[in-house]
Structure 1
Amino acid sequence: MSHAREEYSDFQVLAPDAYESVLALGGFAARAGLDRSLLELIKLRASQINGCAFCVQHHIIQAERLGVPVDKLDLVVVWREAPQFSSRERAALAWTEALTLLTAGVGDEVYEQARAEFSDKELTYLTSAVASINVWNRFGVAYRWTPPARQTQAPVAAS
């Protein structure tokens, strides 16, 4: 089992300017009007690809708070085979994968699919959100940030 080399909170203290810059980049897309649930899905998918345990857990928690159904969160990793995703979500997830796995390049088909669902401005902000989560993943993986704990809720009685 790996141990944290540094924690998320250490990053805030050690490099507040870098922290604020990455945080700002990540917030632009939501402030531009992109759906926050959609943004959590793309952040979750990029974090899965990059193997960032901290970010996977963080974005699951954030998505749950926004009301994203648990079955959708469970199936992000296999979104192509799952019927729960809209065409807009599918385009965003394909765009996220292409930008996260740059060695494969960003093909014309993926670009055209994204352009069919997002305006020029939206796609630019979506790209900034993907770039931001990939930056966060680099820090989370490099320093092995400890994933955040979920808030525990009282168990629901069986009926």
Structure 2
Amino acid sequence: MKTRIVIPKVEPEAYKVLAVLNNYVEHSGLTKTHNDLIKIRASQTNGCAYCIDMHTKDARKHGETEQRIYALNAWRETPFFTDEERAILALTEEVTLIQNHVSDETYQAAAAILDERYLAQVIMAIINISAWNRIGIATGMQPSL
């Protein structure tokens, strides 16, 4: 696919606004592991090849294992993720697929494990990567070889 419009060149102010949200998430207190899992899983769910490529590379640099990265799209079927990570991944999927709504069960499971502030940070991280995924998909961004 050919890359389409380059938003930072055409609308730099809009891009800067999203970069502010990204900066907040990166410095919010979320662990690198949680943030990486959110980025990868939301990007898989949205089908953003550019972001999957970028964030799996970042996760490896942060110490994430190949095994967990490869199993992430089947996380429910593996023993590789903690209860906290499972709650975050379930929430990531439901917020990303918001047309199906976030179930009370998923929300309450996350709220039971995460404190209120951390839960808010997780939700903002999911919203952040979903916005970046939409830019990547809409503009045809491609991973490089």
Give the TM interval when normalised to the shorter protein.
over 0.9
The answer to whether residue 64 in structure 2 is matched with residue 64 in structure 1 is no
Which residue number corresponds to residue 4 of structure 2?
5
The answer to whether residue 37 in structure 2 is matched with residue 41 in structure 1 is yes
Using the TM superposition, give the Cα deviation of residue 13 of structure 1 relative to its aligned residue in structure 2, in angstroms. Answer: 2.5
Structure richer in helix, relative to its length:
2
Identity of aligned residues (%): 35
Out of 40, 50, 53, which is 1:54 matched to?
Answer: 50
Out of 86, 107, 111, which is 2:82 matched to?
Answer: 86
Aligned partners of 1:27 and 1:115: how far apart in 2? Answer: 24
Out of 95, 105, 108, which is 1:99 matched to?
Answer: 95
Count of paired positions = 145
User: Is the Cα contact below 8 Å between 1:58 and 1:148 reproduced in 2?
Assistant: no
Instruction: Tell me the SS of whatever aligns to 1:131.
Output: helix
* Structure ID, larger Rg: 1
Question: Structure 1, residues 96-123: CA drift from partner, whole Å, max 9, x if none?
Answer: 1010111211111101111022111111
Unaligned runs of 5+ in 2: none
**Partner amino acid, structure 2, of 1:136:** W
Using the TM superposition, give the Cα deviation of residue 136 of structure 1 relative to its aligned residue in structure 2, in angstroms. Answer: 0.6
The answer to whether residue 48 in structure 2 is matched with residue 24 in structure 1 is no
User: Is the Cα contact below 8 Å between 1:43 and 1:59 reproduced in 2?
Assistant: yes
Instruction: Give me the CA root mean square deviation.
Output: 1.3
Give TM-score, length-normalised by structure 1: 0.85
**Dislocated runs of 4+, deviation >6 Å:** none
Which residue number corresponds to residue 130 of structure 2?
134
